[in-house]
């Protein structure tokens, strides 16, 4: 499988322009602790160094961290938080990727005024430790994995940093249930569920995407999943989540 990634270059005199992409095979994507990551420049250079720095981030007690699996409403919830914090019901560009922990230079985050509206798709074990030690606020957003799969598929066709090339839905479906970027939905959510159980004193608000009262399409998976794919996914969900208490709505 081939992916688009942001172009890297050792030529400091003629560096690639922002947004320039190149095509690389999956084995060249950054991998750390068994997880495949998108081709963000800092991760492509040295994923271990970058993600260790994220884990050791100097958090602030008034930071707000939105933690969600990809395509689960991170940007949407970030916009809502930004409006609440600013007291203004208007769109803000700051609520997009500017405070995305694994993609942005951490020295830039250090310059951001408080309260910082941070966000990440990293699994719980890779998130800033001090954030939880300080009991800073965290919002964990959960979306039903079938809609995540369809949204992820659309995203993968166009995003420079994680777009798989020319995959059909059937091909992507098999990849999604096996091992996509950031790991599977099942591993991500089970890790978060265990973290909440093992650390009852951390400050976490759990939101379900389907419960948020703004107009968004849900249930689009029905337009993509075949009967066979749906049956296979239901069996996998039952196996992977048999001990979970998550209340997922497959609308």
Give the per-residue pLDDT at 25.
Answer: 67
3-class DSSP state of 25? strand
Cα–Cα distance between 69 and 200 in angstroms, integer? Answer: 21
The dihedral formed by the CA atoms of 4, 128, 47 and 92, expressed in degrees to the nearest 10: 30
Confidence class of residue 157 from pLDDT cuts 50, 70 and 90? confident
Whether the predicted pLDDT of 68 surpasses 90: yes
- Residues paired with 116 in a beta bridge: none
CATH number for 37 = 3.40.50.300
The structure's pTM equals 0.88
Domain membership of residue 103 (yes or no) is yes
| 8 Å CB contact between 132 and 199 | yes
Task: Using a pLDDT cut of 70, give the percent of the chain over it.
Answer: 82
Cα–Cα distance between 56 and 127 in angstroms, integer? Answer: 9
Given the residues 14, 60, 121, 131, the one annotated as active site: 121
Domain membership of residue 196 (yes or no) is yes
| 8 Å CB contact between 146 and 221 | yes
Paired tokens of 104: 């942005």
Full residue range of the structural domain in which residue 117 is found: 2-7+19-210+218-240
Task: Using a pLDDT cut of 90, give the percent of the chain over it.
Answer: 53
Paired tokens of 225: 């999943």
Print burial letters for 127-158: b (CB count within 10 Å at least 16), e (below 16). bbebbbebebbbbbbbbbbbbbbbbbbeebee
Domain membership of residue 245 (yes or no) is no
Residue located via tokens 């941070």: 118
Domain membership of residue 13 (yes or no) is no
Range from 37-46, 112-121, 127-136 carrying the lowest mean pLDDT: 37-46
Cα–Cα distance between 57 and 71 in angstroms, integer? Answer: 24
Give the pLDDT mean for 73-94.
Answer: 81
> Is 60 annotated as catalytic?
no
Domain membership of residue 250 (yes or no) is no
Domain membership of residue 251 (yes or no) is no
Q: How far apart are the first and last CA of the chain?
A: 32
Paired tokens of 84: 């609440």
Whether the predicted pLDDT of 58 surpasses 70: yes
Domain count, the chain: 1
Give the pLDDT mean for 223-249.
Answer: 96
Domain membership of residue 76 (yes or no) is yes
Domain membership of residue 69 (yes or no) is yes
């Amino acid at each position: 499988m081939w992916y688009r990634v942001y172009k890297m270059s050792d030529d400091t005199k003629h560096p690639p322009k922002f947004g320039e992409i190149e095509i690389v095979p999956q084995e060249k994507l950054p991998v750390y602790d068994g997880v495949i990551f998108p081709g963000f420049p800092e991760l492509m250079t040295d994923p271990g160094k970058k993600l260790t720095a994220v884990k050791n981030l100097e958090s602030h007690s008034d930071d707000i961290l939105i933690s969600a699996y990809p395509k689960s409403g991170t940007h949407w919830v970030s916009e809502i938080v930004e409006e609440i914090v600013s007291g203004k019901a208007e769109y803000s560009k700051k609520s997009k990727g500017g405070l995305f922990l694994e993609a942005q230079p951490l020295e830039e985050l250090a310059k951001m005024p408080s309260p910082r509206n941070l966000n990440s798709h990293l699994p719980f074990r890779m998130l800033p430790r001090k954030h939880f030690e300080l009991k800073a606020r965290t919002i964990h957003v959960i979306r039903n994995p079938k809609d995540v799969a369809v949204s992820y598929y659309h995203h993968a066709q166009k995003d420079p940093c994680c777009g798989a090339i020319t995959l059909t839905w059937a091909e992507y479906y098999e990849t999604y249930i096996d091992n996509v970027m950031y790991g599977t939905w099942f591993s991500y959510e089970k890790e978060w569920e265990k973290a909440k159980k093992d650390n009852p004193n951390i400050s976490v608000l759990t939101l379900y995407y389907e419960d948020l009262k703004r107009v968004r399409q849900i249930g689009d998976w029905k337009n993509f999943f075949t009967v066979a794919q749906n049956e296979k996914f239901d069996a996998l969900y039952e196996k992977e989540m048999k001990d979970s208490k998550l209340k997922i709505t497959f609308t």
